[in-house]
């Protein structure tokens, strides 16, 4: 017994000594020099970022890289950024926002839609700190000034990814490999952000193949690889030849790649990240957000002490959205067509939601009230259609296009 005790004690001692010596070289980045100051402030300017997952999720990786790149461009050091990973959309988000505020953050971002109500809960307690809920949609109704929403014009990049899909569909039909222009779409939740996205994608396809039609299957989760794969398989079983997605995993592209291995002529259009690693032959491209643009614009204003707009959104015009590298399966001439479409969007010639290009119940839509003020989830103010164009993400940053247009069938 004594011997064992002695050994344990010696081990403890050795460990403590080792710990003290070896610890020194790897210094904690957070205890370092207080010299790095934000311009014009006494305490260093600090940015807090609340992330729903970590760098293993494509969506969160895009945010992490966006914040880091924006901070670097604005001369902020890494030590001025505090990332909080894997924060669920519950009271943990509120706790984390309060913690970041206590650590002296001047501005706090959250990256997931479900974080917003907890950010709103924290904001009144720290009126001097800016709380920005990315992809949120309720800041405009808040009685407090220090909350804001930002959102990229993802519908623009979805439209362009739809053009890529349309080019492929046309090629397949011209070659006689496919007879039915049937598209499938794996959506997360059935609300405006997703509806706006798949409608834009569909209109992009229809700009190339006017007779195309689409089925949408919802998974009721932002990230569920198994459900997304199952939805893709179900859509393919119904006859879909191209599967688009608004969900954060590689579930759908992976499933499409497997179906290809089994001899089916099917392709995939992804979201957030290039899907070429998960689906080398199936992936055509992915719609992407370039978050650095939005983070930089917001941080720049915060650093200068300028007011931050309650809603901020940007698209191709400011390079806030993009599509990923075209896969080897893309149809010939796709790159040229994509460049042409992007140029037209930038020039303001091409409008994604031109009411001349779609109908609802066989009729052209002339009026749409986008903003709901009385809490019944039906728009009662804010005319979104001007001169035949449905203007998306201008009345507020989060999408509000929620029309069920002809040609799209919701399966669940």
Partner 1 sequence: MKHRESEHAAGPVLRIEKRTQEMRGYMSWGIRAGALIAALLVCAVIIWAIVRINPLRVYAAMFQGSFGTKNKMWVSIRDICMLVCIGVGLAPAFKMRFWNIGAEGQILVGGLAAAACMIYFKNLPTGVLLLMMLPLSAIAGGVWGFVPGVFKAKWNTNETLFTLMMNYIAIQLTAYFVALWENPFGSNTVGVINGITRAGWFPEILGQKYLLNVIIVAVLVVGMYFYLRNSKQGYEIAVVGESENTARYAGIRVPHVVTRTVTISGAICGIAGFLAVAGASHTISTSTAGGKGFTAIIVAWMAKFNTFVMVLIGALLVFLDKGSIEIATQFGLSDHVSKMLTGIILFFVLGSEFFIEYKLHFRAANKEVAK
Q: For residues 51 and 64, is the Cβ–Cβ distance under 8 A? A: yes
Please tell me whether residue 137 binds partner 1 under the rule CB under 8 A. yes
Please tell me whether residue 91 binds partner 1 under the rule CB under 8 A. yes
Q: How far is the CB of 248 from partner 1 (least distance, A)?
A: 15
Angle formed by the axes of helices 334-347 and 154-174, nearest 10°: 150
The C-alpha atoms of residue 242 and residue 98 are separated, in whole angstroms, by 45
Q: How far is the CB of 162 from partner 1 (least distance, A)?
A: 22
Q: How far is the CB of 26 from partner 1 (least distance, A)?
A: 6
3-class SS at 115?
Answer: helix
The strand pair at 408-410 and 213-218 is best described as parallel
Dihedral sign for Cα 223, 225, 227, 230, please. Answer: positive
3-class SS at 168?
Answer: helix
Please tell me whether residue 117 binds partner 1 under the rule CB under 8 A. yes
Please tell me whether residue 114 binds partner 1 under the rule CB under 8 A. yes
Task: Report the DSSP beta bridge partners of residue 21.
Answer: none
Please tell me whether residue 277 binds partner 1 under the rule CB under 8 A. no
Please tell me whether residue 4 binds partner 1 under the rule CB under 8 A. yes
Residue 218: which of 228, 208, 204, 205 has the closest Cα?
228
Query: Near partner 1 by CB under 8 A, which window of 26-34, 263-271, 292-300, 336-344?
Result: 26-34
Residue 392: which of 114, 203, 209 has the closest Cα?
203
Candidate residues 47, 71, 74, 120; the one interacting with partner 1 per rule CB under 8 A: 120
Select 113 or 295, whichever has its Cβ closest to partner 1: 113
Q: What is the total count of residues that contact partner 1 (CB under 8 A)?
A: 49
Please tell me whether residue 32 binds partner 1 under the rule CB under 8 A. no
Select 73 or 90, whichever has its Cβ closest to partner 1: 90
Residue 141, both tokens = 């109704």
- Per the document, the length of the chain is 412
Please tell me whether residue 231 binds partner 1 under the rule CB under 8 A. no
Query: Near partner 1 by CB under 8 A, which window of 187-195, 275-283, 295-303, 334-342?
Result: 187-195
Q: How far is the CB of 192 from partner 1 (least distance, A)?
A: 7
Query: Near partner 1 by CB under 8 A, which window of 24-32, 168-176, 244-252, 362-370?
Result: 24-32
Q: For residues 332 and 301, is the Cβ–Cβ distance under 8 A? A: no
Task: Report the DSSP beta bridge partners of residue 383.
Answer: 369
The C-alpha atoms of residue 388 and residue 364 are separated, in whole angstroms, by 9
Please tell me whether residue 34 binds partner 1 under the rule CB under 8 A. no
Candidate residues 19, 262, 356, 366; the one interacting with partner 1 per rule CB under 8 A: 19
Select 143 or 348, whichever has its Cβ closest to partner 1: 143
Detail the DSSP E strand segments found in 19-110: 47-50, 81-84, 107-110
The C-alpha atoms of residue 345 and residue 293 are separated, in whole angstroms, by 18
Candidate residues 6, 7, 10, 12; the one interacting with partner 1 per rule CB under 8 A: 12
334 Cβ contact list (under 8 Å, min separation 6): 164, 167, 168, 326
Q: Which residues bind partner 1 (CB under 8 A)?
A: 1, 4, 8, 11-12, 15-16, 18-20, 22-24, 26, 28-30, 54, 56, 82-91, 95-96, 98-99, 102, 113-114, 117-118, 120-121, 137-138, 143, 189-192, 220, 377
């Amino acid at each position: 017994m004594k011997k064992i005790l002695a050994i344990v004690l010696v081990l403890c001692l050795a460990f403590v000594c080792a710990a003290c010596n070896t610890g020194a070289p790897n210094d904690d980045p957070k205890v370092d020099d207080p010299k790095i100051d934000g311009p014009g402030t006494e305490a260093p300017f600090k940015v807090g970022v609340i992330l729903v997952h970590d760098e293993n999720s494509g969506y969160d990786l895009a945010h992490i890289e966006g914040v880091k790149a924006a901070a670097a461009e604005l001369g902020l050091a890494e030590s001025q950024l505090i990332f909080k990973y894997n924060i669920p959309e519950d009271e943990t988000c509120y706790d984390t926002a309060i913690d970041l505020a206590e650590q002296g953050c001047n501005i706090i971002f959250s990256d997931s839609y479900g974080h917003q109500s907890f950010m709103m809960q924290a904001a009144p307690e720290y009126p001097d700190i800016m709380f920005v809920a990315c992809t949120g949609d309720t800041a405009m109704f808040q009685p407090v000034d220090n909350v804001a929403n930002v959102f990229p014009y993802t519908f623009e990049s979805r439209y362009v990814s739809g053009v890529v899909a349309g080019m492929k569909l046309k090629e397949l039909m011209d070659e006689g490999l496919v007879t039915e222009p049937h598209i499938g779409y794996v959506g997360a939740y059935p609300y405006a952000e997703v509806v706006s996205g798949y409608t834009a994608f569909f209109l992009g396809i229809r700009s190339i193949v006017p007779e195309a039609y689409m089925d949408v299957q919802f998974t009721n989760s932002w990230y569920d690889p198994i459900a997304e794969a199952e939805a893709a398989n179900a859509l393919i079983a119904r006859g879909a030849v191209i599967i688009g997605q608004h969900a954060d995993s590689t579930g759908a592209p992976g499933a499409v790649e497997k179906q290809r291995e089994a001899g089916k002529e099917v392709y995939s259009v992804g979201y957030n990240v290039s899907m070429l690693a998960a689906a080398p032959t199936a992936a055509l491209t992915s719609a992407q957000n370039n978050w650095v643009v939005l983070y930089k614009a917001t941080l720049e204003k915060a650093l200068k002490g300028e007011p931050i707009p309650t809603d901020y959104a940007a698209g191709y015009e400011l390079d806030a959205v993009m599509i990923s590298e075209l896969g080897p399966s893309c149809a010939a001439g796709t790159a040229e067509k994509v460049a042409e479409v992007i140029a037209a969007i930038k020039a303001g010639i091409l409008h994604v939601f031109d009411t001349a290009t779609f109908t609802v119940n066989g009729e052209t839509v002339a009026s749409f009230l986008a903003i709901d003020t009385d809490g019944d989830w039906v728009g009662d103010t804010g005319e979104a259609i001007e001169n035949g164009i449905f203007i998306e993400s201008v009345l507020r940053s989060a999408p509000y296009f929620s029309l069920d247009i002809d040609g799209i069938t919701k399966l669940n």
